[in-house]
Amino acid sequence: MEASLKKTVIQWDKSSNRSLEHELLGEEPLSIIIEGKPYSVVMRTPGNELALAAGFCLAEGIVDSPDDFTTITCCDDTDKNVVAITLSQSRRNNIGDLLDRRGFISQTSCGICGKEIVKDLYQMVQPVSNNTPIDSKLALECLENLNRHQPLRDKTRASHAAALFSSDFELLTVAEDVGRHNALDKAIGELFLTRRLGKASLAVLSSRISYELVQKAARAKIPVICAISRPTSLAVELATGLNMTLACLADETGLIIYCNEHRLKL
């Protein structure tokens, strides 16, 4: 499995054509098996499988602490497309409904209105209590410089990225993936497994901010999200209720702040 693959392509410019070698972003399925039963299949860029699975489980409410995992392993050293997870007995007893895929919405679903999604998520995610202010100018610099931490984007022009920073702007981790959800899961999962997630105060994203990304950051107790593109209306509604700060790049320069601006020192 490779994060990127080389492919010969034809470039045409209306008057001539030529052969070029391009790098394509890798995309393969990852099956997440919990307690011996298939739980989910996500399409992702190969790499950081355990972090991706851990971040996914945190976002879903399957785990609250790394101690809730008994094991989290790839099923085969040569095939990283399956991650098998077992949970502690006490955790299994607490989340029987979740393991049966009942009572929680983690992905966009047809036929479910925004108010129902927000109501459901409020039952699973607690408001963020960290109100430490951070410097808006330095937050903007993190956003503007995100592409410096995207080697796969340089090769393929196709990957999303998520970078996590501390309140004093130490870069804690960065992850890339074909999916914006996966990139954030990988970044959160890495810090979660190494017990450093409590240091994260700012998530910087290459994408728009959808409600799923707000959910994932809230489960990780990350209070501020800054992104290249604008948030959706549902993301702003959810973040407002969860005491999270959302911002994106302004059209000319600076930030557009959508809710809970008290955390960004202007």
Q: Which residues are catalytic?
A: 110
Answer for the pair 175, 153: CB distance below 8 angstroms, yes or no.
no
Q: Are 251 and 228 in contact (CB under 8 A)?
A: no
Cβ-count burial 92-117 (b if 16+ within 10 Å, e if not) = eeebeebeeeeebbbeeeeeeeeeeb
Residue 213, C-beta contacts closer than 8 angstroms, at least 6 positions apart: 180, 181, 184, 203, 205, 207, 225, 235
Which of 254, 9, 20 has its CA nearest to residue 139?
254
User: Three-state SS for 75?
Assistant: strand
In whole angstroms, give the CA distance from residue 219 to residue 213. 10
Tokens matching residue 95: 């989340």
User: E-strand spans in the chain?
Assistant: 4-12, 17-25, 28-34, 37-44, 69-76, 79-87, 134-135, 160-165, 171-177, 202-205, 224-227, 245-249, 255-259, 264-265
- Structure tokens given for 202: 């700012």
**Concatenated DSSP letters for 41-52?**
EEEE-SS-HHHH
Distance (Å, whole) CA 257 – CA 141: 15
Q: Provide CB contacts within 8 A for 148, sequence distance 6+.
A: none
